[in-house]
Amino acid sequence: MTHSHGHGDHVAGDRGFDGMANVTMVAATPEALQKAFNIAQWPEGQGSIDLGGRVIDVLPIPGHHPAHVAYYDRATGILLTGDHLYPGRLYISDFPAYLASTRRLAAFTEGKPVTHILGCHIEQSTTPYVDYPIGTVYQPQEHVLELGRANLLELLAELEKMKDKPVKLALRDLTIFPREPRPGRGAPKK
């Protein structure tokens, strides 16, 4: 069992797998991910896992979280992007790392089929450019989860423009949301 990254909302159920037969847990740390997926260089390299005639590519994409990875399923063309890219507020903890990771994701997917990009949250509404208020628990008319490679390329283009001065920016299907480091408050939980 593995994760996109180590934030609490993604690892909270881990203990339910404790002691289960035939389950290997991969911790959400660069070291454990490198070992499990044979990633020689973090974050520039890439690794993979063969599920049995079905290869999943694993790409390090730190920036939202230091131990973030994306998974690409060659059989379906689905790219799983965790909290790096989804239709909502993309919380960026380390902007230079996030930009470099987005560049690598765009380069990796060039020339490959990308049927859907699936992330882990939805905070956009179906109204273009509009996300729900932070903390809302009611989201009528929510954006669909799936995004496409065009969203990845648009994200990259906007990040490149703001690379020296990260700012919050609403796009049609997502919101770029750089985070200030908050000393003493610990890492963002999401």
Binding site for Zn ion (CB under 5 A): 7, 9, 83, 120, 190
In whole angstroms, the minimum distance from the beta carbon of 9 to Zn ion comes to 5
In whole angstroms, the minimum distance from the beta carbon of 172 to Zn ion comes to 22
CB 80 within 8 A of CB 118: yes
Pairing of strands 89-92, 175-178: parallel
In whole angstroms, the minimum distance from the beta carbon of 117 to Zn ion comes to 15
Residue with smaller CB distance to Zn ion, 22 or 136: 136
In whole angstroms, the minimum distance from the beta carbon of 86 to Zn ion comes to 9
Token representation of residue 180: 């200030």
Nearest to 89 by CA among 122, 138, 41: 122
- Give the span between the Cα atoms of 69 and 33, in whole angstroms: 8
Residue with smaller CB distance to Zn ion, 9 or 110: 9
Residue with smaller CB distance to Zn ion, 28 or 56: 28
What phi and psi, each to the nearest 5 degrees, are found at residue 33? -70, -40
Residue with smaller CB distance to Zn ion, 81 or 109: 81
In whole angstroms, the minimum distance from the beta carbon of 88 to Zn ion comes to 10
Residue with smaller CB distance to Zn ion, 40 or 137: 137
Token representation of residue 158: 């906007």
Bridge partners of residue 48, in order along the sequence: 57
Q: Where are the beta strands (DSSP E) in the chain?
A: 47-50, 55-60, 69-73, 78-82, 89-92, 116-119, 169-170, 175-178
